[in-house]
Chains A and B, each alone.
Chain A
């Protein structure tokens, strides 16, 4: 049985499979299965049963999210599917691989999602810098139209589905799903108030599902090989496989598809080869720049949404950023704060004014000008920018590395104050 459904066709040393080769490896079987008589309700039940959780960061169950879309004759006729392909979270490099490596897999997933919620139109919201992904996807879309997997009356199902490519122009906040919808409508990409949730009132006020690239790539396997097979893939309580990445000073940084539920140690020391010679592991962000630091003592925790939450962090994107003992933790957190300050959309005050303040304090620390009072201000901001105090989750995301960094690397912050310099610089 297939053990690596997300990457089975991916070999980054060659161009992605064309549609014929993709079909030859069970590709688009799910669409044929739908054509043979799976109703949207049938598919919804399969996806719910699979236990698939969104891979965009929040880990919300995909089937449950879809079930909020109004159904039936009284529901709005136009519904939309939107692919969140705006990957920009620092340290995250997984969706790029899926789109460059096997664009048909995402398209097949899109057809399944759109059919389930009966969306006749989808927009792929692609990060503008992903020029290779754009080319790969455009080619795949063209092929899929030619084979009748996209367009009118797909495989005689009576279901029509069009896919439109939208390339963005670089703004992290566009990855937040309501800001993304504003961007697609041609507006400044500030987030929207929730409720109403996009599932009910999204793009141009119509029911809309926003799903991450990797989430969609999970769907073909679930329909083609079945829910039991999907459950059999993982080792822990979560289901399926996931892309896991490691960056930083490890021996062999990279991105791998692994079952959910492996110990973190196996990823960091096995796949990523452990630390480079002469370096020790100090800590790591388990799922991109908006997750809380974890420590070497956490290496035996499982790569599983709930297990990682138990130690106060999040699996989120599954792409780890590794901090070694010769790199300054204060500098690392400072780098992230600069990013968040720059990418704040400016809509709400705590984030617009607080993040640049935090960023400035980190610059002062870097220059040996940080004080105890500054440290207190940083601590205060973990609260002021935290969940519930800002209009969207960007600022709370920033408090994850900030708060955990202050906690775990306290002595490094103190040292910057007492020595009036960064002792990691030579």
Chain B
């Protein structure tokens, strides 16, 4: 990258909010090296913004004084750092082995039908994004999925209906 490009991308950086900065500063007290909090900072920003835009990423890199490319290397490494906009509720759908044995493909097909989205897509109303996730560590209650921070177990089509309804109601 030429100096010019670096300068021009730095200009596109978003200034972090005071809240974001306070939380990042707190994390920095927990590590001997501020470079260590890159992932924490990405997660903090994602918590506030819903996802990590280019402008946010550049803002964090600037704040922590680390190369944007390094931070991008971390951001793209992790499944749960969203570099694209996601819906209000992210569905993390377990498609690993025990859930597969217990019929998660049928459940996924049902969600796909009900919400008209496939993996990586967001519903038109912006309510849900569907993402596959490796084993959620609840295999004896397969099939399972998370919606936001909540775990849902022993999934059936009926359960999917009521879960979708609950999240829709919560928002209205």
Contact = CB atoms under 8 A, between A and B. Distances in A.
B101 interface: yes
Interface in A342-398: 342-343, 345
A93 B100 contact: no
B108 interface: no
Given A129-B133, A131-B149, A168 B140 contact: no
A92 B80 contact: no
A254 to B, nearest CB: 5
A91 interface: yes
A274 interface: no
A231 interface: no
B98 to A, nearest CB: 4
Contacts of B66: 186
Interface in A132-151: 132
Nearest to A401: B97
Contacts of A322: 101
B102 A91 contact: no
B38 A92 contact: no
Contacts of A245: 139-140
Interface size on B, as a range, is 35 or more
Given A92-B139, A186-B35, A248 B102 contact: yes
B33 interface: yes
B140 A246 contact: yes
A367 B136 CA distance: 27
Given A186-B74, A248-B102, A204 B136 contact: no
A204 B33 contact: yes
A129 B139 contact: no
Interface string B92-104: 1001111011100
Contacts of B21: none
B32 interface: yes
Interface in B133-172: 133-142, 146, 149-151
A248 B38 CA distance: 38
Interface in B65-82: 66, 70, 73-74, 77-81
B39 interface: yes
Interface stretch (A44-52, A55-63, A329-337): A329-337
B37 interface: yes
A95 B98 contact: no
Contact of B101 (A92, A248, A319, A345): A248
A311 interface: no
Given A88-B134, A92-B135, A339-B97, A247 B73 contact: no
A95 B137 contact: yes
A248 B151 CA distance: 19
Contact of B97 (A189, A246, A249, A289): A289
A34 interface: no
B22 interface: no
Contacts of A92: 135, 137, 139
B65 to A, nearest CB: 12
B116 interface: no
A130 B150 CA distance: 10
Interface string A72-95: 000000000000000111111101
Contacts of A253: 139-142
Given A89-B135, A91-B135, A204-B33, A254 B101 contact: no
Interface of A: 87-93, 95-96, 127-132, 164, 166-172, 183-189, 204, 245-249, 253-255, 289, 319, 321-324, 327, 331-332, 335-336, 339, 342-343, 345
Interface of B: 30-33, 35-40, 42-43, 66, 70, 73-74, 77-81, 92, 95-98, 100-102, 133-142, 146, 149-151
8 contacts: A90-B135, A91-B96, A91-B98, A93-B137, A129-B146, A247-B102, A335-B96, A339-B134
